[in-house]
């Protein structure tokens, strides 16, 4: 990888708070976004547990990626972190302490819109420390069972990150094949991505309820697709599922801890592949400059299985 440049880090101007019911446990959750020092990154703190255990939002702290991203060990960690992380990353809030009195953030409507509203109201403060902006010199692609996600080098002097997601559940799925591409900027994220909700098939919803997950939820609280489309609900965008996948991607890739430049392209990927890509990019960024500059090494790392 190579450094394209940098920008000055940002934190919140004041504390922001969001309350609601968690999607997984169904228990009430209070989340507080607090300003924090330069270079501290994003840190989750469980205020409901003895010793207030804390976990950095980094790829190495991820312990589970089954249908959601979990940071920290079972029992003391935090699950379904991707929407809160996406809100911070989408608005370019780099340093923040997230206090939680529950094992998961409020589920809200299954999107990041409630978090974005709270963060925008709190405002941002510029800090003196710099945050690096990195790009790959060769594509780094993660693939598994026909799904793939990869970061490709920037073209034509681009200094931003473009995200593309291709969603394909197959020809007989009630969710039609769709794609979405956007350049990730705070204003675009807030307007076109943040409000896109979690979705699942009716069969998946029944399976999760049988496991004791989300038994308090009804179809009007998130997108559940039956044979003829959303049940008791309507789409905010025709391609809302693909946009929500980009939302998840933004949250998961924020685990790198630095800005990315280039084009991230995903096909049927989920949290497992997203986090694997974040881990691969983090490892690549930490390699010595003389190794990263070796084109043979770069080519050998272009593709790997998750």
Respond yes or no: is residue 263 known to be catalytic. no
Structure tokens given for 204 = 């998946």
Q: Kindly report the CA angle at 266 between 265 and 272, in degrees rounded to 5? A: 130
Beta strands at 28-35 and 16-21: parallel, antiparallel or unpaired: antiparallel
Torsion angle of the four alpha carbons 208, 209, 210, 211, in this order, in degrees rounded to the nearest 10: 60
Structure tokens given for 150 = 């990869």
Q: Which of 83, 244, 263, 271 is catalytic?
A: 271
Give the other-Cβ count within 10 Å of 17's Cβ: 12
State the DSSP H helix or E strand holding residue 265, giving kind and residue range, or none if neither: strand 259-267
Give the other-Cβ count within 10 Å of 48's Cβ: 14
Catalytic positions, written as ranges: 271
């Amino acid at each position: 990888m190579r450094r394209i440049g940098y920008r000055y880090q940002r934190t919140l101007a004041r504390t922001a708070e969001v309350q609601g019911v968690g999607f997984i446990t169904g228990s009430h959750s209070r989340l507080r976004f607090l300003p924090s020092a330069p270079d501290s990154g994003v840190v989750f703190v469980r205020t409901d547990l003895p010793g207030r255990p804390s976990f950095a939002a980094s790829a190495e702290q991820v312990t589970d990626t089954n249908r959601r991203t979990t940071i920290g060990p079972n029992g003391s960690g935090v699950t379904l972190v991707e929407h809160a992380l996406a809100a911070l990353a989408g608005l370019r809030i780099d340093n923040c302490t997230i206090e939680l009195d529950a094992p998961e953030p409020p589920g809200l409507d299954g999107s990041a819109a409630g978090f974005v509203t709270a963060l925008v109201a709190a405002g941002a403060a510029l800090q003196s420390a710099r945050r690096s902006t990195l790009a790959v010199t060769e594509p780094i692609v993660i693939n598994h069972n026909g799904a793939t996600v990869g970061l490709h080098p920037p073209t034509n002097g681009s200094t931003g990150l473009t995200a593309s997601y291709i969603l394909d559940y197959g020809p007989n799925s009630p969710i039609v094949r769709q794609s979405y591409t956007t350049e990730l900027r705070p204003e675009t994220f807030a307007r076109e991505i943040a409000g896109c909700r979690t979705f699942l098939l009716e069969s998946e919803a029944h399976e999760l309820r049988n496991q004791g997950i989300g038994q308090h939820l009804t179809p009007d609280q998130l997108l559940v697709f039956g044979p003829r489309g959303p049940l008791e609900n309507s789409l905010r965008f025709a391609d809302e599922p693909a946009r929500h996948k980009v939302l998840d991607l933004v949250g998961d890739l924020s685990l790198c801890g630095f800005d990315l430049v280039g084009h991230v392209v995903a096909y049927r990927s989920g949290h497992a592949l997203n986090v694997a890509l974040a881990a691969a990019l983090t490892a690549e960024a930490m390699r010595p400059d003389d190794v990263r500059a070796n084109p043979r090494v770069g080519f050998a790392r272009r593709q790997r299985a998750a």
